[in-house]
Amino acid sequence: MTFTQDQSTVTEISPRELYARLLSAQPLFILDVRNEDEFKRMPVEGHATLRTLNLPYFDFIEDEEAALARLPKDVEEVVVICAKGGASQYVAEVLNNHGYRAVSLTDGMIGWGNYYDVRDVASAAWGRIVQIARPARGDLSFAIISDGQAALVDPLRHINVYRELIEGAGAKLTAILDTHVHADHISGGPALAKETGAPYYIHPYDAIHPIDMLPAVIAYEPLRDGQVFQIGQVRVTSIWYPGHTLGQVNFLAETPDGGRYLFTGDGIFLRSFGRPDLGGKGEAWTPILYRSMFEWLPRYLTDDTMILPAHFSTLDEDAGNGIFAAPYKQVLAQNDSLKPRTLEEFTSYVLSHLPVFPPEYVEIKRVNIGLVEPCDGKANELELGKNICALAG
């Protein structure tokens, strides 16, 4: 067969279309043609209706018939995925020549990994709260926009998404708020501060690398417990919540219509909570997290406070509209990890639910406080794979 990448007639599916399909929970079949290691490190994940098969593209080159024989016969459409979008075109063309209807994901996993989804959590006369998600990693960030002012919570690495959003809303960025110094991804905060002049806030306890014990060399404003930011008509209060990191905070946004939105960062998640061991001192930090979670958090939570974490673990946490948020009452009902426990029970719960500690997380924290400056390629590599900030379910 002849094949030239530039003249491929294979239909493509964009990351945006793929995400819509994944969210819809309609049956979907993905054929991932990367090698096994790459596939295992970061597969495309969806609801239970998603079926995925890993069959490297070189199996199709080596023995087309044998590879084709391994495909299920009952699939109507195949979404073919590879690393950059070239091999998936090749395989999709093979499939199309054999009676399948195959489409190829544009730019492969690079395109998927760097795809951002933007949608409103709330929109009213006072302004908007916007969720900016990076679905491949399960990363969530937020914008609060009111009366021409904007604040960002936990902005991610690709900062143009935020600049376009804020410009499009005709607003000015007045505060960049990170709930903590992240270990799993590179923050967009410092770069946004440099480009826009808006102040970048982190709690000073997070400005020291917990393992190197070296201070941040980026420019930041030290965040105080109880510090208030007035973003137009929205009042945002920082609440110290140590445990996942020593300087982790929650941000409570209160809107004029009585709405309460709590940005929990890697504090509590919808189905889990943030692990206390990523600073390398899990034993010492677990009791601190316990106090934050069971003594401090209930004081400022009401049943209808919307919980908006910095991560989701699976698409099943979607509220049904692509928004990964829920009222506190509902979170309590569906999140077994938040059940009342004694400190002893809590400690053994944490110990028995700790996932692997990705070694690159130590380096990512260095990047986030300016101790290391990676090039683009290195940054992509550090951020490969989904976040592992939550305790395992």
Q: Which does 32 bind (CB under 5 to 8 A by kind): Fe ion, another protein, none?
A: none
Q: Does 56 bind another protein (CB under 8 A)?
A: yes
374's CB contacts (< 8 A; 6+ apart) are 186, 367, 382
- Active-site entry in 33, 82, 151, 218: 82
Complete edge-to-edge strand list for the sheet that includes strand 221-222 = 117-124, 127-134, 139-146, 149-153, 172-177, 200-202, 221-222
Taking CB under 8 A as the rule, which mask of x and - marks residues 89-118 in contact with another protein?
A: -x----------------------------
Q: Which is nearer to another protein, 67 or 216 (CB)?
A: 67
**Beta carbon of residue 379, minimum distance to another protein (angstroms, whole number):** 16
Cβ closest to Fe ion, residue 78 vs residue 293? 293
**Is the CB of 159 or the CB of 234 nearer to Fe ion?**
159
Give yes or no for residue 171 binding Fe ion (CB under 5 A): no
Known catalytic residue at 82: yes
Among 7, 9, 37, 76, binds another protein (CB under 8 A): 37
Neighbours of 6 (CB within 10 A): 4
Instruction: Say how many residues touch another protein, by CB under 8 A.
Output: 19
| CA–CA dist 305, 302 (Å, integer) | 5
In the list Fe ion, another protein, none, the entry touching 57 (Cβ below 5 to 8 angstroms by class) is another protein
Q: Within positions 252 to 281, which residues make up the interface with Fe ion, using CB under 5 A?
A: 266
The Cα–Cα gap between 393 and 389 comes to 12
Which of another protein, Fe ion, none does 266 bind, CB closer than 5 to 8 A by kind? Fe ion
In angstroms, give the least distance from the CB of 12 to another protein.
Answer: 16
The full length of the chain comes to 393
Q: Toward another protein, which CB reaches closer, 12 or 117?
A: 12
Q: Closest residue to Fe ion, Cβ-based? A: 389
Q: How far is the CB of 154 from Fe ion (least distance, A)?
A: 9
Give yes or no for residue 63 binding another protein (CB under 8 A).
yes
Smallest gap from residue 36 Cβ to another protein (A): 7
Distance CA 207, CA 296 (A): 23
* Distance in Å, CB of 114 to another protein, minimum: 17
Which structure tokens are listed for 84? 């950059």
Q: Select the binding partner of residue 86 from Fe ion, another protein, none (C-beta < 5 to 8 A, by kind).
A: another protein
Q: Closest by alpha carbon to 210, among 178, 265, 263, 248?
A: 248
Asked if residue 178 binds Fe ion (CB under 5 A), the reply is: no
Nearer residue to another protein within complex by CB, 85 or 127: 85
Note whether 184 binds Fe ion by CB under 5 A.
yes
Closer residue to another protein (CB): 3 or 164? 3
62 binds, among Fe ion, another protein, none (CB under 5 to 8 A by kind): another protein
Of the residues 47, 51, 84, 291, which one makes contact with another protein according to CB under 8 A: 84
Binding region for another protein (CB under 8 A) out of 61-69, 158-166, 208-216, 287-295: 61-69
Cβ atoms within 10 Å of 160's Cβ, excluding its own: 12
Select 34 or 311, whichever has its Cβ closest to another protein. Answer: 34
Q: Is 35 in the site for another protein (CB under 8 A)?
A: yes
CA 165 to chain centre: 18
What residues are annotated to the active site?
82
Q: Which stretches of the chain bind another protein, using CB under 8 A?
A: 3, 5, 35-38, 56-59, 61-63, 82-84, 86-87, 90
Contacts with Fe ion by CB under 5 A lie at 184, 266, 389
